[in-house]
Amino acid sequence: MDLIQKANLKAIDPEALNIRKLSTKDDTFFVELPLDSVPQEDWQKLFQAELKKIGKPLAVLNNSQDSFPKFEVNYPDSLQEDTISIITNSKKLKEDIKLVMQLVETVNDRVDRHNKEVNEENEKENLKIENNKETIREMRESLKKDPPFL
């Protein structure tokens, strides 16, 4: 197993935040929240799993079987490159940003647990390797002290 790097939301700068009006509904906006890096695939999978748990789409979903909104083809899914996108309205913007912050924190907590497990497994493996080296060294010492003869 490999270690997973955390991804974090950048500080929210209201002036620099990318906010666009959606054409489909009144008071519906597309907001892009920047991450500090492009998350690894494993982090993205954890994020998508946490997102499914809340049962609320953050942004446009491409599958026609998905819920709200079904067709706004100009907007990406919720996690693209180094951005998490949300569809919100002016009254729920802060609430939805807090939800994303909580999701990112939850994912990073899971990353911490995963990385701890990986490190523990690596330590066990390294200990085995060291024990094997010690056993081999002892076997060689034994042969040096008392070589086999016919």
Residue ranges of domains in the chain: 18-144
Kindly report, residue by residue over 15-39, the tens digit of the pLDDT: 999 998 887 667 888 888 999 999 9
Tell me the residue type at 21.
K
- Name residue 30's beta-bridge partners: 20, 87
Q: Is 17 left (phi over 0), alpha (psi -120 to 50) or beta?
A: beta
Kindly report, residue by residue over 114-144, the tens digit of the pLDDT: 999 999 999 999 899 998 998 999 999 999 9
Q: What CA–CA distance (Å, rounded) separates 2 from 134?
A: 27
Q: What CA–CA distance (Å, rounded) separates 71 from 22?
A: 11
Q: What CA–CA distance (Å, rounded) separates 138 from 150?
A: 22
